[in-house]
Every structure is written in C-alpha cells, then in structure tokens.
Amino acid sequence: MLENLDPVILARIQFAFTVSFHILFPAFTIGLASWLAVVEWRYLKTGKDVYQEIYRMWVKIFAVTFGMGVVSGLVLSYQFGTNWSGFSDKAGNILGPLLGYEVLTAFFLEASFLGIMLFGWNRVSPKMHFASTLIVAFGTLLSSFWILSANSWMQTPAGYRVGEYGLFYPTNWLEIVFNPSFPYRFAHMVMAAYLTTAFVVGGIGAYYLWRKIHIKHARVMFGMAMLMAIFVAPLQPIIGDLHGLNTLEHQPAKVAAMEGLWETQRGAPLKLFGWPDQEEETTKYSIEIPYLSSLILTHELDGEVKGLKEWPKDERPPVALVFWPFRIMVGLGVLMVITGVMAVVLYFRKKLFDTRWFQLWCMALTPAGFISVLAGWFVTEVGRQPYIVYGALRTSETISPVIGPNVALSLLAFIITYTFVFGAGSYYILRLIGKGPVVTEKAYGDHGVKKPPLVTDLSSETGGGEHV
C-alpha cells in the first residue's frame, strides 16, 4: 500500500505543513517588532514606566517567536534539496541570490541587535537601545521584502531567460526583484502582519481587562491595538482589491478558482458560498449576488470574467482549496473592519475599556490574524498550481527522485517533532502572557546607564548597583 503513495502529493503536503507553521512566526514578529519600537518611543517621550513594563513583557515573547521562526525556516531550505532538488537546480540561479540577500542583510541585522533589545537596558544608552529596536524592526521588514520578492517572482516571473537543460538565468535583476505582483504582495502581507499583531495584543489586553488585572497596562495595549484596527483594517481591503486586479491580469485561472466561476461570462455574480465540484465543473448550492464579481474584478457591472473552462483540466488549480480559504480570509477581514468601527463608536461613548461584550469579542478574535494569513497563503500557493514558477515550470517536474514511503515517514517525523518543539514554545509564550507585565525590578537596572557594568561590579555583592 505504501508503495502506491504519490511522492509529489506527499512532498507538497510536507512543504505545506512546514511552511504553514513557519509563516505564523514571521507574520507575528514583523508587526510585533514595529509595535515594540512604538512602545519604547512612547516610554522615552513620556517617561512612564507602564510602557517600559509592557516592552519588557512583549520583547520576551518576541524573542521566543523569533527563535521558533528561525528554526522552522531552516527546515524549508533543507526541503528544497531533499524533496525539490529539480526546483533548486532549475531556479537556483534566481532564487538563491534573493534568499542569500535576505540572510546577509535582514537576518544579520535582526540577530545582531536582538541581544541589545533583550539585555541592553542597563548596559547601553536609551538612544542606543531604541536604535536597536528600530534596527530589528527594520530587519523584519527587510526580511519580508526579500522573501516576498522571491515568492512573487514564482507567481509572476520576469527578468529571466530559460537556457540549456531548462535552467533559469537572470537577465534583469530589477525586473526580478520588483516583478509585477511584488508591490501588492509586499504591502498586503505587511498590513496583514500588523493586523495579526494588533489583534493578538488587543486580545491579551481585553483578557486582562476582563479579569481586572494589569489594568494600567491592559488599557495601553488594548487602546493601541484598537487604534491599529481603526486605521489599518479598512486599508487592507483597498490593498487587497489592487492585489486582486493584479492577479486577474497575471493569474486569471487563480481568480476564477477564487470565485468558483466555471463559465466565462459578463456580469458575473459573486458566489458567497457554494461547493466547487471539479469533476462536474460546477459550483453546487451556491448563494450568489448578481453582477458583484464583475464589479469587483473589472469595476464594471458587465465586465467579462474568465471561467475555469477556458483552461485545460491539467492547468486548473484545486478549486475547493482556493475557493474556501479565500472566503475565510475575506470573512475575517470583514470582522476586523467591524471591530475597528465598533471601537470608534465605543471610544466616543467613553466605553471602550469598560464594555464586557466587546472584550469578549476581541478575545475571540485573538487568532483571527493568524488564520487569515494562513488562508491567504493557501490561496496564493494552491492557486498557482500546477506550476511552481507560474506558466514556466510545473511542480511535478521539480520533485526529487524520492519514493512515497520515505516522504510519508519524514512527514510523520515532522508532525511529531513540530508538535513537541513548537508546542513547548507556545506553552512558554502562554506562561509569559499569564504572568503579564512585571513592575520594574531593581535588579534589572535603570534604562540607559551611561557606563557598562565592570567585571568587579559583577563579582561583588552589589553588582547590580551604581557603576563607576
């Protein structure tokens, strides 16, 4: 039975499993690093200890999340060689440098200054510590820049030629880096990361308010999170619309799968719900809004939208795996916008921090950003199939010469290992959240002591005291 397992399907499942774990951590750290920079800026500007205490709590969570992101990311690079050697061989001339730039620039910045963020409060000046936080935040954005550039090139390849043996060679690096879909994907992902962080921080703040603990800190966290929801959540659909128009231009089959549309038609309806049946080439039990799909995609009521039947069956993506994640992503985005609207109403009624049902609402939406990010990436990656480099290289042509049972065993090993390793990391984060912000501890020293501690200080009984 094991001998009949399809290695291509198993390798795709394995990569999907590992990359799904991985993307959760960068999606959080990108937003969290930027938020920590804002929190520390508020501390330096106001001198209020509440901001410092919030920072110290969340920087520990950032460090653990960052570490899990690094570990899970290393696994992906190994899989390029073990399961997808054909892809590494053919596209390595382009993707190798892009991923190398990410390590040499972004990762080195993050890794170099993370230590100062964690342990530099009593060893460097306030400006230096703040600069370190800013550099780490910039590093996370730079990392997403290179990773999304590489992924976007796989979606909308440009600036290359195909040489002997099907190898891809760069012809214009500017066209490769700034390929047609990159600006939209980068903006969309960064906003998604900010919203993910906002709803996690807001959910934890709501939890503290609900339990009436850490009230001072909870009000700051909750208020800043809702501010992000008010301004960024409505912006995301606008960016998403621009991204959708770009996808319609370059990957129309993906859009057709997102819409569950089989027949090319003008005035295409928006299918709110339904069940795409790939065998019968129809979307069953669909609930539709007339003309809305054409209006959204073409900005015209009678605009033409291509259906999936325009492409041969072997060039269509798995429709259900694109159709449903897209609706999950959009649905959660709508809930985030509604949350921002409710926050505005409650703020002007002076009930933002005291409304119990709204606290429960925000607690329930704590994981919304993570789920939305996962759903969005399912749409992106599954919708690209059957190509790994859209229109240029099929996924089935890049699999390593491996057999199904071996891939199945390694997949099982990944599931077990990830459950224990990342389960332990997640448990520790929950412990930190449960503990909450700690009032400034004397042993931690004052922020920004002008001189670093001497060896004699550390060896004396008063090593945490005044430095000379």
Assess if residue 439 is contained within a domain. yes
Q: What share of the chain is helix, strand, coil (3-state, %, to 5)?
A: 70, 5, 20
Q: How far apart are CA 361 and CA 94, in angstroms?
A: 45
With contact defined as beta carbons under 8 Å apart, do 206 and 359 qualify?
yes
Are 49 and 160 in contact, with CB atoms under 8 Å apart? Answer: no
**Does 146 fall in a domain?**
yes
Q: Is residue 224 a contact partner of residue 36, using CB atoms and an 8 Å limit?
A: no
- pLDDT values of the chain reduced to their tens digit, one per residue, 468 residues: 455 667 778 888 888 888 887 888 888 889 999 999 999 998 888 888 889 889 988 988 998 888 888 877 778 777 777 778 888 888 888 888 888 888 888 888 888 888 888 888 878 888 888 999 999 999 889 988 998 898 899 899 998 998 888 889 999 999 999 999 999 999 999 999 999 999 999 999 999 999 888 889 899 999 999 988 888 888 988 898 888 888 988 888 998 888 888 888 888 888 888 888 888 888 888 888 888 888 888 888 888 888 888 888 888 888 888 999 999 999 999 999 999 999 999 989 888 888 899 999 999 999 999 999 999 988 988 888 888 888 888 888 888 777 777 778 888 888 888 888 888 888 888 888 888 787 765 433 444 444 444 433 433 344 333 332
- How far apart are alpha carbons 315 and 256 in whole angstroms? 12
Name the domain count of the chain.
1
Distance CA 182, CA 156 (A): 8
Q: Is 277 part of any domain?
A: no
Q: Which helix (H) or strand (E) segment is 268 a member of?
A: none
Q: What are the Cα distances from residue 50, in Å, to 270, 382, 429, 440?
A: 48, 45, 20, 9
Residues, the chain: 468
- Rg of the chain over Cα atoms, rounded to whole angstroms, equals 24
Residue 89 tokens, joined: 């061989």
**Buried-exposed string 267-304: b where 16+ CB fall within 10 A, e elsewhere:** bbbbbeebebeeeeeebeeeebeebbbbbbbbeeeebe
Q: Is residue 130 part of a domain?
A: yes
Which domain covers residue 104, as residue numbers? 7-179+403-468
Q: Domain for residue 250, yes or no?
A: no
How far is the C-alpha of 344 from the C-alpha of 352, rounded, in Å? 8
